[in-house]
Amino acid sequence: MPMFVQDSPRRLFWGTLLVRILVGWVFLAEGIQKFLFPAALGAGRFAKIGIPLPQFTGPFVGVVEIVCGALLLVGLLTTFAVVPLLIDIAVAIATTKIPMLLKQGFWAAMHEGRTDFCMFVGLIAIALLGAGGLSLDERWRRIR
């Protein structure tokens, strides 16, 4: 049977790793940018979209994205890291994509929300699959 058709632990190993890297990388990068470009992506953006206490919530979300994104990248405390990021992305969708859907329509919201929706689904996949074989969680499990 061709490799792309059969199920194998090897495919699950690499697929889980790639999803974890993709999602972790995006959150880590977005968190860092909240500090590099606070007016456009951090507190300034939070104020513009009506998030309360933007001088606090902007950096707070940035730290959550950096810490939890890094945890996903290395596969440490993976299930723990998914929860705050799911809350983070759900708030992002609710505060930016839902209003856009109501004002500009379905296709505009789908275009602008593609990364948010992919991150949401990726986080759910990580929650369901776990950290995978190449992770610190797995290494920790093996030595216990």
Residue-wise pLDDT tens digits, 7-60? 688 899 999 999 999 999 999 999 999 999 999 999 999 999 999 999 999 999
Which residue has 């109501």 as its token pair? 102
pTM of the model: 0.91
CA nearest to 99, candidates 85, 113, 118, 114: 113
Residue 138's CB: how many other CB atoms inside 10 A?
Answer: 15
Give the pLDDT confidence of 98-143 residue by residue, as tens digits: 999 999 999 999 999 999 999 999 999 999 999 999 999 999 999 9
pLDDT band at 4 (very low <50, low <70, confident <90, very high): low
pLDDT band at 5 (very low <50, low <70, confident <90, very high): low
pLDDT band at 6 (very low <50, low <70, confident <90, very high): low
- Retrieve residue 7's tokens: 């199920």
Task: Work out the mean pLDDT of the chain and round it to a whole number.
Answer: 94
pLDDT for residue 8: 83
- State phi, psi for 5 to the nearest 5 degrees: -100, -35
Cα–Cα distance measured from residue 140 to residue 6, given in angstroms and rounded to the nearest whole number: 29
